[in-house]
């Protein structure tokens, strides 16, 4: 099988600068199948993209619906799928692991903020440690660091949080919305793989450029889903 946690873990190892792992974000089974058929080696579901596809505002998707949507995606493809499960929905770590495995996910993002407020880093690190103990290597944890979206944007604070999450067992950290200029500093201060968000804009840095600045892997959040929705709206306007 190619959709295993071992495959996902191996895809993060030994990547040279300028060649990051690119993980596009499917929002349903059809988009997942299209991305896998295009040759992408792994996929990363975006919570905002799935929320929109399910008819919810980002952050308001019921956990049951999110896990069901992830399961439909994992059944459609034979590549590793890592799932954005927001801040864990208040679910105990052991149960969260089992629900991810039942949905077929072999990786996940867990945010260190809730409702726009950063969590206590020590308490969150303890939660992640419990999660990793329960996962016992079966889930690749990407710990999101929200200092640049819900904090003061201090890179040193982001490095401190990231280090505590790696010590808790996270295998990758994701300082979402970190300024491009800060990536080298984060790279020097963070042990292990580093996830960067690429913005699909004409003047935005390419995934290769982000990789050259220190990113091990690249994700896009809900941008593909939003582009597809915009394309559907444009087509609909033409039909009218």
Report d(CA 78, CA 221) in Å as an integer.
21
- 129-138: long-range contacts (C-beta < 8 A, 24 or more apart)? 129/168, 129/169, 130/93, 130/94, 131/88, 131/93, 131/96, 131/97, 131/169, 132/168, 132/169, 132/170, 133/93, 133/169, 134/93, 134/94, 134/96, 134/97, 135/97, 137/5, 138/5, 138/97, 138/101, 138/106
List, as one string, the DSSP characters of 150-178: HS---HHHHHHHHHHHHHHT-SEEEETT-
Note down pLDDT in tens along the chain; length 240 residues. 679 999 999 999 999 999 999 999 999 999 999 999 999 999 999 999 999 999 999 999 999 999 999 999 999 999 999 999 999 999 999 999 999 999 999 999 999 999 999 999 999 999 999 999 999 999 999 999 999 999 999 999 999 999 999 999 999 999 999 999 999 999 999 999 999 999 999 998 999 999 999 999 999 999 999 999 999 999 999 998
Q: pTM for the full model? A: 0.96
Specify the pLDDT at position 2.
Answer: 75
Specify the pLDDT at position 1.
Answer: 61
Specify the pLDDT at position 66.
Answer: 98
Q: Which residues pair with 140 in a beta bridge?
A: 107
């Amino acid at each position: 099988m190619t959709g295993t946690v071992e495959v996902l873990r191996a895809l993060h190892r030994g990547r040279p600068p300028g060649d990051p792992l690119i993980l596009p974000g499917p929002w349903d089974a059809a988009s997942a199948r299209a991305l896998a058929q295009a040759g992408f080696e792994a996929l990363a579901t975006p919570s905002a993209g799935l929320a929109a596809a399910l008819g919810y505002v980002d952050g308001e998707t019921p956990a049951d619906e999110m896990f069901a949507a992830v399961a439909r995606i994992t059944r459609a493809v034979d590549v590793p799928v890592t799932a954005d499960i927001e801040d864990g929905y208040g679910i105990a770590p052991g149960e969260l692991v089992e629900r991810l495995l039942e949905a077929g996910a072999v990786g996940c993002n867990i945010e260190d903020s809730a409702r726009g407020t950063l969590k206590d880093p020590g308490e969150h690190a303890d939660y992640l440690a419990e999660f990793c103990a329960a996962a016992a290597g079966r889930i690749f944890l990407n710990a999101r660091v929200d200092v640049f979206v819900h904090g003061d944007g201090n890179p040193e604070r982001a490095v401190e949080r990231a280090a505590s999450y790696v010590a808790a067992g996270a295998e990758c950290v994701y300082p979402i919305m970190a300024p491009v200029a800060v990536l080298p500093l984060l790279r020097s201060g963070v042990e292990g793989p580093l996830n960067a968000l690429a913005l699909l804009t004409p003047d935005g840095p390419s995934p290769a450029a982000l990789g050259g600045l220190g990113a091990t892997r690249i994700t896009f959040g809900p941008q593909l889903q939003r582009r597809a929705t915009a394309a559907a709206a444009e087509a609909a306007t033409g039909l009218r």
